[in-house]
Structure 1
Amino acid sequence: MSEDQKKSASKGHDEMVVSQEQQAKITEVRELIGQLSDKESLYCSDASISRYLVSRNWNVKKTAQMLKQSLKWRKEFKPEEIRWEEVAADAESGSIYRPNYQDKFGRSVIVMTPRRKNSLSTEREIKYLVQCLENAISNLPPQQEQVVWLVDLEGVKMSDISFKMSREIVHVLQNYYPRRLGLVILFNAPAIFQPFFKMMRPFLETEIYNKVKFCYSDDHNSRKFLEDLFDMDKLESAFGGNGDTGFDINKYECTNKEAEPRAEPESTLQPVRRTHKVNFFFFIVFLIFCIDLIFSMSQVSKKAASNGHEKMVISKEHQAKITEVRKLIGPLSAKESLYCSDATITRYLSSRNWNVMKAAQMLKQSLKWRKEYKPEEIRWEEIADEAKTGLMYKPNYLDKYGRSVLVMRPCLQNSKSTQGQIKHFVYCMESAILNLAPNQEQVVWLVDFQGFKLSNISFKVAHETAQVVQEYYPKRLGLAILYNAPMIFQPFFSMVKPFLESETYNKIKFGYSNDHSTKKIMEDLFDKSILESAFGGNGETGVDLNKYAERMKEDDSKKLSFWTPVKSLSSVSHNAPLDSIRLDADSDASNNEKILVPN
């Protein structure tokens, strides 16, 4: 775990600094939702509306719509009126409970032990979880809005998963408790899932990635992490603390009754039959979190899927932050000045939630990496062996929004050299960025899973690639289309949403060759006449290695020209993004040394 991850994980608090512009948006949301009852007004505080706005990327109309749905749900479900007697039968096993302590940052804690029995009724299970959440939120100190979930995954089994209940819980968390999750600690999780977790980094914002932590009982770093986060005398021994492990239903009943702010209504629910079927919601969510490369399509907005262009509108406040970053990074060489355009700094700021210090630190690390690794100086001859099978290449077309495209075919893995594969990937990314249309900054990944096997994956390469994308190419991924991905992962799709921002969630798309919706999405995104037939187009699939080599050599010459400092630094505009060089080479399709996609 990196120092940045530890800091983010231990702090956890989403400190909301509301600007005048954001306060105006809060006011607009209030106007759109209209007149409220006293109870609704109490719920719709500025902090609450801010959470909804952040979850909808400060889009006022979407926020108002989401908040209206939440108010409707709260009016009908009445989560604040759920009493202990209504959920006691579901609580007695201790599968979910709120312990009588907080973390050192004031966040309430919810403990989950999936191996323990739970109720058969989805309705009851959701009601109990909502009751735990409401009590956890009501016990938060001032200025704190988030909850920590401690999940003991000892002894979990995939066969115990209830997908129906998990989907329902995800729906509640996603739509009615936005931005409430501060941190999830997965204790003694099966080690097999950690490599998948590392693979997903390119598709997750840092804030989201840092919300999920692995801890193990025999790991020194885990103990240090938990000591920084909790009072070890109170933390249960199951999580490495000195407190009692176990669940006293009688004490917990008293605690819950004390936490209830209103008189208790008569319970109309009857005890339910118990079953060995358990809710492994967090286990599943983590698994999904780790393999979210394979989600999206059926429930994602088609408009979001087809548009994909992230246009950056820089306000005066943001421009001031760009200037602050320039001051912090200090004097630059001519080449570094060319790299550090306003557009580039904006991407770094955006990836660090407009925190100037963090953005400057990240940019300094990128400049150091670029100085040592020299990605712009990699030439075709250095990566030709890696490229020869067609594992990854840049086709000679853009999408309809001017984004460069990288095609990847995991089944054509041809090298065991991690260093060589990373260099090939960096070379392709640099060429893709060089060929972006004006005012476009992002790249589309087309990943063909035809013939894919799990053995094609190199976890070490995946981890290294993820680190490169995350740290040195922030906000460059516009869209990843996973074509004919294994269907086995789709049941996990609907459960990842609570942990992903809408922007991140919409960057991953599923496509299938026999699906009508996929065909429509691909037609909206690409010129079908040149899109390869492997992705549903009319173009030839594969790449002519000789023509591709010539085109990449032309790119190499353009890179040399682009990155060679000319005249003086005064000739370099801070506003000039690294894009706009279009290629006009002929199609790569021919009969000579053609790399074909296997059946």
Structure 2
Amino acid sequence: MAASELSADQQKKVDSLREAVADKLQASAELRVWCTNSCLQRYLRAREWDLTKATKQLHKSTEWRESYRPDSIRWEDIQEEAKTGKTYLGQHRDLDGRPVIIMRPRNENSKNVDRQLKFLVYNLELASRRADEAGEGKMTWLIDFEGYSYRNAPPIKLSLHALHLLQSHYPERLGLALCYHPPMLFSLTWKATSPFIDPVTYRKIHFVDKDDKGRTFMSEMFGDQHLEACLGGTNAFVFDYESHGHQMREEDAKLQRSIKEAAES
């Protein structure tokens, strides 16, 4: 929602929310880069424009960002997690213009929950910036469950942490989550985590089978030419760790330039 589309009351709430964290923004270039008008609007929309609730949540997020420092995570910090291509930002957006995070649990290569969470946050930050560039502000998650097993299934603790991060500190970021060809085994994880998913997020989660209906749905969401062949499309893309790392270093440098500009302004 652009500023011009806000009602007078909504704009007043955006201004009040910004004022509530003004001291923190003044002291931190990183927070100023993150806490844009669009960011403030997302926190208000997530709390149905309840200023008190949005202010409380925004304060929690600024405290989290000050302590966890998601914008200071570099490729070198998480590159070991990325080697197998278990999670990465896709080459193409979906047909609604949203950046796509592709996840493949079968490629899990770590049991370190803290490092896994840092890797997830790195990708959420990247996808969020890409989403803002497009103006949509939202991202799509495409989870490819082919080869999912007890061996590579993420621990419930990690799934709950990830859910908490998304709902608490990335409100209104998820546009769509597609669970592609989930096996019966996944139902155990879903049963454990779904009660903690808020109703708005829950409605954005779709389960897609590898049948004709599923292939049609995937084609309509991504376009065959942009959809990887292993997902039913015609795109020959295969994840390459070295080229991906080069791209991520460029993204890191771009973010640091933005923070430096904010610090000097």
Q: Structure 1 residue 396: deviation in Å?
A: 1.4
Q: How many Å separate the matches in 2 of 1:567 and 1:406? A: 30
Which of 222, 228, 235 aligns to 1:532? It is 228
Counterpart of 1:558 (choices 248, 254, 264) is 254
C-alpha deviation, 1:357, in angstroms: 1.6
Are residues 1:508 and 2:200 paired?
no
Q: Secondary structure at the match of 1:447?
A: strand
Matches within 5 A, 1:15-414: 313-331=5-23, 332-333=25-26, 334-414=29-109
1:439 aligns with 135
Counterpart selection for 2:161 from 464, 468, 473:
464
Letter in 1 for 2:163: A
Q: Deviations over 1:287-322 (max 9, x none)?
A: xxxxxxxxxxxxxxxxxxxxxxx8895222211111
Amino acid aligned to 1:510: F
Kept in 2, the 8 Å contact 1:408–1:446? The answer is yes
* CA deviation vs aligned residue, 1:109-130 (integer Å, no higher than 9, x gap): xxxxxxxxxxxxxxxxxxxxxx
Contact 1:376 1:563 in 2 (8 A): no
Identity among equivalent pairs (%): 32
Alignment-mate amino acid for residue 330 of structure 1: A
Report deviation, 1:447.
0.3
Q: Distance in 2 between matches of 1:538 and 1:370?
A: 40
Structure 1 residue 479, shift from structure 2 partner: 0.5
Distance change >3 Å, CA 564–CA 441, structure 1 → 2? same
Take 1:565 and 1:365, find their aligned partners in 2: how far apart are those partners? 26
Supply the distance in 2 between the matched residues of 1:568 and 1:553 (Cα, whole angstroms).
Answer: 23
Residues 1:554 and 1:510: Cα distance change in structure 2 (over 3 Å): same
Can you list the C-alpha shifts for 1:513-549, whole angstroms capped at 9, x where unaligned?
2x22222222222132131112211123640111111
Q: Conserved in 2, the CA contact under 8 Å of 1:335 and 1:565?
A: no
- Flag the structure with larger Rg: 1
Instruction: Give the structure-1-normalised TM-score.
Output: 0.40
What per-residue deviation string (whole Å, max 9, x for no partner) do you get for residues 253-289 of structure 1? xxxxxxxxxxxxxxxxxxxxxxxxxxxxxxxxxxxxx
Partners of 1:504 and 1:372 lie apart in 2 by 26
CA contact 2:30–2:71 (8 Å) conserved in 1: no
Residues 522 and 546 of structure 1: is their aligned pair in 2 closer, same or farther, counting only changes over 3 Å?
same
Deviations 1:431-470 (A, max 9, x none): 1122224311111101011111245121121122122112
- Which residue number corresponds to residue 477 of structure 1? 174
> Closer, same or farther in 2 for the Cα pair 1:568/1:500, shift >3 Å?
closer
- Count residues with an aligned counterpart: 252
Give distance in 1, aligned partners of 2:262 and 2:121: 25
* Alpha-carbon spacing, 1:471–1:439, altered in 2? closer, same or farther (3 Å): same
Secondary structure of 1:543 counterpart: coil
Matched residue of 1:367: which SS?
A: helix
Normalised by the length of structure 2, the TM-score is: 0.86
Structure 2 unpaired stretches of 5+: none
CA displacement 1:143-168 (0-9 Å, x = unmatched): xxxxxxxxxxxxxxxxxxxxxxxxxx
Cα shift readout 1:481-528 (whole Å, capped 9, x = no counterpart): 100012575xx99xx9xx975x54441112222x22222222222132
Q: Report the Cα distance in structure 1 between the residues aligned to 2:107 and 2:263, rounded to whole angstroms.
A: 45
Residue 214 of structure 2 corresponds to residue 518 of structure 1: yes
2:245 to 534, 543, 549: 549
Letter in 2 for 1:550: H
Q: Deviation at 1:400?
A: 1.7
RMSD value, Cα: 2.5
8 A Cα contact 2:98 2:134, kept in partner:
no
Cα distance, 1:566 vs structure 2: 4.0
Q: Distance in 2 between matches of 1:567 and 1:452?
A: 45
Q: Which amino acid aligns with 1:473?
A: Y
Q: 1: distance between equivalents of 2:134 and 2:85?
A: 28
How many Å separate the matches in 2 of 1:547 and 1:341?
Answer: 31
